Structure 1
Amino acid sequence: MDRFDAMQAFVRVVEAGSFTKAAQTLQISKTTVTHLVQQLELRLGVKLFHRTTRQVKPTAEGAAYYERVLQILADLEDADTSVAHASVSPKGRLRVDVPSPFARYILMPALPAFHARYPDLQLDLGVSDRKVNLIGDNVDCVVRGGEITEPSLVARKAGDLVLRVYASPGYLARMGTPQHPRELEDASAHRIVAYMQGSSGRAATIPMRRGDETVEVQGHYTVSVDDGNAYLEAGLVGMGVLWLPVYMAEGHASRGELVQLFEDWQMDPMPMYLAYPPNRHVSTKLRVFIDWMVELLAQHAPPIARSASKR
């Protein structure tokens, strides 16, 4: 038995909660993973997992062993990278998940510069607005807009997105220009494009402020979407009023394809986070990607002091 391979297989089963998923992420057969774990159990003389038809969970001994093995594997990787770091740039495969508008407008245009800096890194990008299971899907890092609510993740705030309200000239010509956010609640007068939040199936509500006045706009919609790029396109073709980060809207606004509304109203900025599993070792390749993302967000969405956002 190769103890290193067996420990890697064991760790991946714990993180994935499945022998099948662990085999897929390791790109080996389920039979091989099962054999490696069984050999490890035989060598240690303890049962490492509780197995049922629905799930695989570590035993008390397995959970304790997982914490020790994780550190051993991290130390081994550090030993390898410390020797090679002086002459070799970070290399290997990195799995990252990002929102679709962020990929389109910010990440993809900047990728050539990242590749030039780190030519030996291979990025596997998941591009969607769904929330992935970092451990179950074996994702190294995610970029997310909005507060991170999962206590199981390590989150690093990297910026704030300024939000504004827009509509297309065609929509305003057809429906008129609203002068107050409350007008959007009149179903006979206006429509919004609704953005559905994850698996909740509910459209997001938008709090807005002007001085001491606060309103929370729900609005009525003809179309709802769960993808940021589709949300923008629906607004551009005149399906309703939009709440957009400035980075998504500024190009279209400069070309006259979108018109900003309610310029004297403010909204809280949307925080942007980089998140990764707490027990996932921050390797050199992950560290350089996170540092680069922080640089990138500092250009497009610099952090805003909370007091400044509550004017």
Structure 2
Amino acid sequence: MRVFTRIVELQSFSKAAEDMQIPAATATYTIKQLEARLGVRLLQRTTRHVSPTLDGQAYYQRCVRILADVEETEAGFGNSGAAPRGKLRVDLQGTLAQHYVLPRLKEFFARYPDIELEIGVGDRYVDLVRDGVDCVLRAGELRDSSMVGRRVATLQQVTCATAVYLDRQGTPQTVEDLHTQQHRAVNFFSSSTGKFFPLEFTVNGEQRSITLPGSVSVSSAEAYAACCANDLGLVQLPRYHVEHLLRSGVFREVLSAYRPKPMAVSVVYPHQRQLSPRVRVFVDWLSDVMTAAS
């Protein structure tokens, strides 16, 4: 079942075999034996692509539930007691990882020494099922209803620019000043969808979106802050990311009376993996870390 589910998720016999550290021939033989025992074809194979048949898709959905139940059951027996063990693949948004999670990892390993973490760090879109990722930590509103999302924090957002930029362009006192003073922005877009995100402000209790012209658009939080630091315009991002620059006076917050609503931070994982003890303890630990920080 484990071999079969990884082939479905990675859409490849060779990639699944590499992921599970078994010979490719073993993966092929395993599926042949499984199909022969069940009396149905589970996978459609072409030279470039592997996909489940209708029977294969139904079998996959049952397999992931059974495997999660097996892991849950076995975690309560044996010499390790109830301590979870094994590899856990997670993906963390870059700045959240750097500021909150990575500095406290030793606390997690002190509590769960038998778990091995494989951590991806960045802002890219992750297909949790196909990429074989157990959970991700992401900022922003959740849009994928096929996943389980657990909100673990809300972060205050600020609008800011460098002192050099504001001395040159003027400091806006109202949202309307952004246009009358001809302000510019460092614009941010999604690397997965290409969608541009406007600046958001709370005006008389309602959210208002403002799009400003700019000389540069970026798709990563680090590049976003770096362009602002080079006097290229206004940005809007969680306060923790630029706290040190605000304290030093390099950045100045503007329009604090019109701050956007706080940014949600959530842990997201597939439905079929919500029973995994490894996922559960890591999600609980992430929740504790982010709640304490926010």
Residue 100 of structure 2 corresponds to which residue in structure 1? Answer: 106
1:26 and 2:25 correspond: no
Find the residue that maps to 1:279 and give its secondary structure. Answer: helix
Change (3 A) 1:149 1:214: closer
Change (3 A) 1:180 1:53: farther
Residue 221 of structure 1 corresponds to which residue in structure 2? Answer: 214
1:132 and 2:122 correspond: no
**1:162-218, Cα deviation, whole Å (9 max, x unpaired):** 2111111122222221222333346x8322111112333232112312326753211
Residue 10 of structure 2 corresponds to which residue in structure 1? Answer: 16
Residue 113 of structure 2 corresponds to which residue in structure 1? Answer: 119
Change (3 A) 1:209 1:71: closer
Maintained 8 Å contact 2:187/2:198: no
Maintained 8 Å contact 2:137/2:268: yes
Trace 1:165-184 onto structure 2 (pairs within 5 A): 165-184=159-178
Maintained 8 Å contact 1:185/1:217: no
Q: 2:245 aligns with which of 228, 240, 252?
A: 252
**1:89-110, Cα deviation, whole Å (9 max, x unpaired):** 4332111111111111111222
Change (3 A) 1:107 1:153: same
Query: Among the aligned pairs, what percent are the same residue?
Result: 37
Find the residue that maps to 1:240 and give its secondary structure. Answer: coil
- Unaligned stretches of 5+ residues in structure 1: 1-6, 302-311
**1:93-135, Cα deviation, whole Å (9 max, x unpaired):** 1111111111111112222222222233221111111111111
Measured in 1, the distance between the counterparts of 2:212 and 2:173 equals 15
Report the CA distance between 1:253 and its aligned residue.
1.1
Residue 263 of structure 1 corresponds to which residue in structure 2? Answer: 256
Find the residue that maps to 1:83 and give its secondary structure. Answer: coil
Measured in 2, the distance between the counterparts of 1:29 and 1:183 equals 65
Residue 309 of structure 1 corresponds to which residue in structure 2? Answer: none
Find the residue that maps to 2:272 and give its secondary structure. Answer: coil
Report the CA distance between 1:10 and its aligned residue.
0.7
Find the residue that maps to 2:257 and give its secondary structure. Answer: coil
Maintained 8 Å contact 1:184/1:220: no
Measured in 1, the distance between the counterparts of 2:108 and 2:48 equals 41
Measured in 2, the distance between the counterparts of 1:213 and 1:294 equals 29
Amino acid at match of 2:278: K
**1:235-293, Cα deviation, whole Å (9 max, x unpaired):** 12222111011221222212222111001113122211111111225322211110011
Maintained 8 Å contact 1:94/1:122: yes
Measured in 2, the distance between the counterparts of 1:199 and 1:95 equals 21
Residue 93 of structure 1 corresponds to which residue in structure 2? Answer: 87
1:278 and 2:271 correspond: yes
Measured in 2, the distance between the counterparts of 1:271 and 1:25 equals 33
**1:142-163, Cα deviation, whole Å (9 max, x unpaired):** 0111222122211112221221
Measured in 2, the distance between the counterparts of 1:78 and 1:209 equals 45
TM-score, normalization by structure 2:
0.91
Q: 1:196 aligns with which of 184, 189, 198?
A: 189
Residue 233 of structure 1 corresponds to which residue in structure 2? Answer: 226
Report the CA distance between 1:87 and its aligned residue.
4.6
Amino acid at match of 2:24: K
More deviation, 114-123/41-50: 114-123
1:79 and 2:91 correspond: no
Amino acid at match of 2:76: S
Maintained 8 Å contact 1:182/1:217: no
Q: 2:148 aligns with which of 147, 154, 172?
A: 154
Residue 293 of structure 1 corresponds to which residue in structure 2? Answer: 286
1:210 and 2:203 correspond: yes
